[in-house]
Amino acid sequence: MNKKIQLQDIGRKDYKETWEYQETLFKEILDIKIKNRREDAGLSTPNHFLFVEHPHVYTLGKSGDISNLLLSEEQLKEKEATFYKINRGGDITYHGPGQIVGYPILDLDNFFTDIHKYLRFLEEMVILTLAEYDINATRSEGETGVWIDVGTPFARKICAMGVRASRWVTMHGFALNINANLGYFDHIIPCGIKDKTVTSLHVELGVDHVDIDEVKAKLLKHFTTLFEAEFIQQKAEI
């Protein structure tokens, strides 16, 4: 089992371009797995992890409801935002500057073949990271992602998640609000949940700006422990 993960931090990048790159990496892994199955080739499958920050964009998962987007096409242009219907799970979400978006493209045969466990580990990575900032974040039963003050009238989501998997290969991932402009969430019903709000780490800490690179390092540290993985830094290829 190959537990090494090729890490690329690709900076700010258009959503569609990044999605297409994910699809390329995803297909490469699937092709190797199919070859192994058909020819007993015994080839090792690679794993990838992308960090990216997107310009303003709204994405709707395959089970999502378009009515949860509250902007017309013209209003999207006014907000300098784009919209895509995509092939991950979940409903609608927003990505934009000030977010850490992570896309693990893993062959779970290298780790464990359990999507539920995979999502819980991603949540745990974020929960442990936020604990280092004295933020008590938790899960909300029946709702994927990471939340603060669950079970109170002040419950708010700080990290959204949505993944796709085929033959135990994953893509898409998580979006953690660090210095996000929360006003952009006012134009959707986030994840289709009407009675809860969203938040960002800088708001929770009462500061103007949080060091995103510091948060990324903490996320990777906890990911490494949870998945018993090793990261190999690569130069961004897109």
What is the pTM for the complete model shown?
0.94
Asked if 99 and 160 touch (Cβ cutoff 8 Å), the reply is: no
Cβ within 8 Å of residue 204, ≥6 positions away: 133, 135, 148, 158
pLDDT digits (tens, 9 = 90+) for 38-77: 999 899 999 999 999 999 999 998 888 899 899 999 999 9
Residue 92 assigned ligand-binding role: yes
Angle 31-36-37 (CA atoms, 0-180°, nearest 5)? 100
CATH fold of 4-233: BirA Bifunctional Protein; domain 2 (3.30.930)
Tens of pLDDT, residue by residue over 180-192, are: 999 999 998 865 5
Residue 91 annotated in ligand binding: yes
**96 annotated as belonging to a binding site for a ligand:** no
Burial environment of residue 12 by CB neighbours within 10 A (0 to 12, 13 to 18, 19 or more): exposed
Where in the sequence numbering do the catalytic residues fall? 191
Q: Are 148 and 197 in contact (CB under 8 A)?
A: no
* Percent of the residues in the chain that have a pLDDT greater than 90, as a whole number: 84
In the 8-state DSSP scheme, what is residue 43? P
